[in-house]
Amino acid sequence: MTARPVRRRWLIGLVAVLAPVNLILFATETFPFDVLADWHRAVGLRYSGLMVVAMVGLMVAQMAAILAVVRLVAPHPAAPPTLAAPPVSAPETLWLPHHDVHARVLRLPRTGPGGAETDRSQAPRLDRGYYVSVPGGFAGMFDTAQGPVFFLDDRRIPLDDSVRCTVTPGRRRSVFRLWRGDSLDVDLSYAPPTDIDVGDAFSSAFDRDFFVWLAESHAEGRHQPAPESP
| Mean pLDDT of the region 40-60 | 62
pLDDT value of residue 227: 46
Residue 142 or 136, more confident: 142
- Say how far apart CA 4 and CA 86 lie, in whole Å: 34
pLDDT of amino acid 193: 79
Assess whether pLDDT exceeds 90 at residue 73: no
Predicted pLDDT at 34: 62
Q: Residue 229: what are its φ and ψ, rounded to 5°?
A: -75, 150
pLDDT digits (tens, 9 = 90+) for 109-129: 988 887 899 999 999 999 999
Give the pLDDT confidence score for residue 164 in this predicted structure. 94
CA-nearest of 109, 100, 153 to 130 is 100
Binned at pLDDT 50, 70 and 90, residue 24 comes out as low
